Amino acid sequence: MQRCCGITRGRARCSNGARYETTICNATFKVCKHHQNKRLLSGWEREISRRETVELPGQDEVPLDVERWVHLFHEGWDNTKNIYVSSNFATAIFRHHDIANYNFDKKHKLYTSIKLNSGPILDTCGICLEDRRVYRTECDHAFCKNCMREWLLRATTCPQCRRIL
């Protein structure tokens, strides 16, 4: 049996078995009974689909940020199949208005740069253990950009201390 995709109040992954499915933003996830209910993302998805199917007066009053975020979430989901990475990806880059012509790889490079705080220094990468130009995370661990790009396709945490980035 698969493990639940939900997150506990302590921001850890739920350890329950996944017996149910929930659909958020057209992506289906295996979840436990506790995480079966739909929350913010599904509300956003309903609002966007309602606007697209029904002619609403004052339609422009609905914030476009929500729709833009959901589209970025979908793009992240299509490329990673990871709900946490997709939501972090969308949240980190949706305010950058100059990314309209970017493909996913370019957007993901921007996302990686956002997650790495300080400029490059010559040090040892905490993943590949090679001496090269590394960047520090907000938790002060050093990684090269190539290793972090690969890591951030699969996880939303620091590879060393597991702090959520």
Q: Per the structure, how many domains does the chain have? A: 1
φ/ψ region of 81 (left if φ > 0, alpha if ψ in -120 to 50, else beta) reads: left
**Is 122 within the bounds of a domain?**
yes
**Is 139 within the bounds of a domain?**
yes
Q: What is the pLDDT of residue 100?
A: 78
Those residues whose C-beta lies under 8 Å from the C-beta of residue 112, and which sit 6 or more positions away, are: 145, 148, 149, 152
- Each residue of 105-124: pLDDT tens digit? 999 999 998 888 877 889 99
Q: Are 155 and 148 in contact (CB under 8 A)?
A: no
- Each residue of 79-105: pLDDT tens digit? 998 888 888 888 888 777 778 788 999
Q: What is the pLDDT of residue 60?
A: 44
- pTM for this model (two decimals): 0.64
Q: What is the pLDDT of residue 96?
A: 79
Q: Structural domain of residue 163, as residue ranges?
A: 116-165
**Is 37 within the bounds of a domain?**
no
> pLDDT band for position 14 (50/70/90)?
confident
Residue 148 has pLDDT above 90, yes or no: yes
**Is 121 within the bounds of a domain?**
yes
> pLDDT band for position 12 (50/70/90)?
low
